Amino acid sequence: MPRDPKHDCLFEPIKIGPKTMKNRFYQVPHCIGAGSEKPGTQALNRGMKAEGGWGACNTEYCSISPESDDTHRVSARIWDDGDVINLRYMNDTLHKHGCLGGIEMWYGGPHAPNLESRAVSRAPNGTASEFEYLTYSHEADEDDIKDLIKLYGEAAKRAEQAGFDIVYVYGGHSYLPLQFLSPFFNKRTDGYGGSLENRARFWIEALTEVKEAVGSTCAIATRLAIDTLYGPGSLEVADDGLKFVELVAKEGVLDLWDVNIGDIAEWGEDAGPSRFYKAGHQRAWTNEVKKICDIPVLGVSRETSADDMAAHITSGRLDIIGAARPSISDPFLPNKIDEGRIEDVRECIGCNVCISRWEIGGPPMVCTQNATANEEYRRGWHPESFNAVKTEESVLVVGAGPAGMECARVLGERGYDVHLREASSEIGGCVKDIMRYPGLSEWGRITSYRQIQLDKLKNVEVHTGVGEMSADDVLEYGADKVVIATGSHWSTTGLNSVSHDPVEGLDASKPYICTPEQVFQKKEVGKRVLVIDGDGYFTGISMAEMLVDQGKEVNLVTSLGSVAPYTHFTLEAPNLHRMMYEKGIHEKTLHWVEKVEEGVATIYYLYRDGYKRDSGPTLGKMPRREGTDVIKMEFDTLISVTGRVPNDQLFRELRARKSEWEDNEIKGIYAVGDCYAPGLLADAIFSGHRIAREFESKNPQHAQPWIRERQVWGHETYPKISDREVLG
């Protein structure tokens, strides 16, 4: 289908300093866990986006010196020739598709914990970071400032050698240049502190250094948090934010503004989860920049709608559409818009599970919607193409939740004859409930994307409302292979990770106890609600919010150290805590449930036992004082979010009847998603995708090996030990 003419503006080239970008789709810097040390992953992840039509792709934040080392998290680094070689591979890959490569040069100041380098960062002041624990910087004197500026220039030259087209001085998210600019950080009284001109001096000198170093061959960009959202005393758009843009404009040292909002300690205000912020939420802050400068301006806001993107360009609010999460969820978003295939865009759901991996530290980024994200190199997966099989084999997929839908879709793309059978009247599985929680409606895109794709596949039949299949039904169905994707359910007995046992008296068949599923099935919920949460992600807190919105009084008890701790990694936690406070949801953390009776739960503090061992091994007795303190909490309805249980009865019965498979001409029966082991939605979708990709392996239940990027002993690395000035 041809492109909609109203989207033509998105495909016009644009000049950025000495470079020309072929269109207006720009993958802003974002982390993937590859850095400079996994060059294959780095190059092929970004390269996939280049193939998918993005006009420019950036590294994640890229450290310019060991003084700025973000270990345990993974940043890129441009410290030496080894990094130049590794990052050049990314640029070579991008350039094959006419895509520009960008590097976000980063110096973190006190926000760099330096756990690997053991260096000390320098900064405008020596105050500890509000983002890291126990991380102080050395207050830079004027010689230090000259050194720091030189670091940017030297790193820029290495970036040029690595083939980068766009070189950033990164000041968003409260890193070093913004630490000089913002009075929240900068308490200096010399020429780099006090007035706006003084506070802006460092950033402008760094830009000037970089411009002089590489400005004739590379475009110079900067990322500015135009408003840190702290109110007065920091950076506000209507004050220092826009005034700084004007100051930089006078210097003529910049080719591209990349503007966002927020800081690093609460960077969910920038990478807003869909629970709180819809696409375009930053525009009210960033719209003004374009009016006061004459160089290209780009901004992010998790936009997936081509109409909205085009409107930003035609209205003159932005020149370029910046995107991180939409490019992860669909690396082929530009090409799909270009080809008029809007319905094929795999829209980001704003869950921030991608970000959770960076926040956790080392593991590679994953994406809920796009199971191939970061698997381009190590597993050789392409998001839009699949190894076709020439087969007459038919596959029965039982269960159309996230794992089953994805498995059927990928098997269908590969050419299998697939029947996807769903007991209930609609596909979607647990997503049907999840999207009804406050703020989570966009999570329904998990289903809508797959519904559209399944409808297009002529070799996939989707049967809904067929009721639960028995083992006999499956054996007699006539499929060559079977995939069981029957999901999981919340324990009806309080089975939990604290005791690994049910909770005494907890029985969801009683009228005063509900599982989340029962709440959605309209089981009656009384006025006073007690949510017990042993899960720690979105279900307990979402249920609490949903019920408080219905006028209930809600208490939440969790065994964990804070409510919904996984939401710290998805950047939802700060605003979830504000929501709880504002809506009057009361919490009790580090407590668990001993016993449930009608109207009252007996709760205990997890650390009520003696704080030291007070005996040696004594059979039948704990070697410390056993605490017996309890608290009684009254309720009308207790909501049990203690743990999930796989719906694996069908799978286990079929496995037990393996001797009957051959007679029924069944070659294999496998399980995917929560019915094998409950996990994140991203894990369930990955599981369905992975087994479909590897369906012809000897036992697709278990994954094929992937390429591991690591130093292999006996091969040269950079830097060499002989590069050191002193061997001590």
Residue 556 phi/psi, 5-degree rounding, is -125, 125
What is the DSSP secondary-structure string of 218-233?
Answer: SEEEEEEEEE-SS-TT
Backbone dihedral region of 561: left (phi > 0), alpha (psi from -120 to 50 degrees) or beta? alpha
User: Does 369 participate in binding ligand SF4 (rule CB under 6 A)?
Assistant: yes
Instruction: Tell me, by CB under 6 A, how many residues bind ligand SF4.
Output: 13
Is the CB of 125 or the CB of 368 nearer to ligand SF4? 368
Interface characters, 143-182, with ligand SF4 (x: CB under 6 A)? ----------------------------------------
Residue among 705, 27, 706, 670 at smallest CA distance from 332: 27
- Rounded to whole angstroms, how far apart are CA atoms 438 and 554? 15
CB atoms within 10 A of CB 440: 21
Interface characters, 621-650, with ligand SF4 (x: CB under 6 A)? ------------------------------
Among the residue ranges 6-14, 79-87, 106-114, 362-370, the one whose residues contact ligand SF4 (CB under 6 A): 362-370
User: CB 373 → ligand SF4: shortest distance, Å?
Assistant: 7
Residues 279-308 that bind ligand SF4 (CB under 6 A): none
What count of residues does the chain have? 728
Residue 587 phi/psi, 5-degree rounding, is -120, 150
User: CB 50 → ligand SF4: shortest distance, Å?
Assistant: 18
Residue among 402, 398, 395, 495 at smallest CA distance from 444: 402
Position 163, amino acid: G
Q: Pairing relation of β-strands 19-21 and 25-27?
A: unpaired
Among the residue ranges 73-81, 191-199, 325-333, 571-579, the one whose residues contact ligand SF4 (CB under 6 A): 325-333
Task: Decide if 416 is catalytic.
Answer: no
User: CB 87 → ligand SF4: shortest distance, Å?
Assistant: 23
Question: Which token pair is 244?
Answer: 């700084």
Among the residue ranges 162-170, 350-358, 635-643, 648-656, the one whose residues contact ligand SF4 (CB under 6 A): 350-358
Helix or strand holding residue 27 (H, E):
strand 25-27
User: CB 349 → ligand SF4: shortest distance, Å?
Assistant: 4
Residue among 382, 267, 354, 332 at smallest CA distance from 689: 382
- Rounded to whole angstroms, how far apart are CA atoms 365 and 645? 26
- Rounded to whole angstroms, how far apart are CA atoms 714 and 706? 22
Among the residue ranges 120-128, 361-369, 483-491, 659-667, the one whose residues contact ligand SF4 (CB under 6 A): 361-369
User: Does 367 participate in binding ligand SF4 (rule CB under 6 A)?
Assistant: yes
User: CB 331 → ligand SF4: shortest distance, Å?
Assistant: 11
Among the residue ranges 25-33, 314-322, 347-355, 693-701, the one whose residues contact ligand SF4 (CB under 6 A): 347-355
Is the CB of 39 or the CB of 350 nearer to ligand SF4? 350
User: Does 329 participate in binding ligand SF4 (rule CB under 6 A)?
Assistant: yes
User: Does 525 participate in binding ligand SF4 (rule CB under 6 A)?
Assistant: no
Choose, by CB under 6 A, the member of 224, 349, 475, 571 that binds ligand SF4: 349
Residue among 45, 91, 38, 73 at smallest CA distance from 707: 38
Q: Please report the beta strands in 107-164, taking only residues with DSSP state E, as ranges in sequence order.
A: 122-123, 138-139
User: Does 328 participate in binding ligand SF4 (rule CB under 6 A)?
Assistant: yes
Which distant-in-sequence residues (6+ apart) come within 8 Å of 385 by Cβ?
A: none
Is the CB of 104 or the CB of 442 nearer to ligand SF4? 442
Among the residue ranges 123-131, 147-155, 367-375, 545-553, the one whose residues contact ligand SF4 (CB under 6 A): 367-375
Choose, by CB under 6 A, the member of 351, 420, 554, 685 that binds ligand SF4: 351
Torsion sign (Cα): 138, 141, 147, 153:
positive
Of 26, 61, 89, 175, the active-site residue reads: 175
* Cis check: omega of the bond before 72, within 30 degrees of 0: yes
Beta bridge partners of 483: 397, 670
Choose, by CB under 6 A, the member of 352, 491, 493, 515 that binds ligand SF4: 352
User: Does 353 participate in binding ligand SF4 (rule CB under 6 A)?
Assistant: yes
Helix (H, G, I), strand (E, B) or coil at 454: helix
Is the CB of 348 or the CB of 532 nearer to ligand SF4? 348
Please give the residue ranges that form the binding site for ligand SF4 (CB under 6 A): 325, 328-329, 348-354, 367-369
Active site members: 175
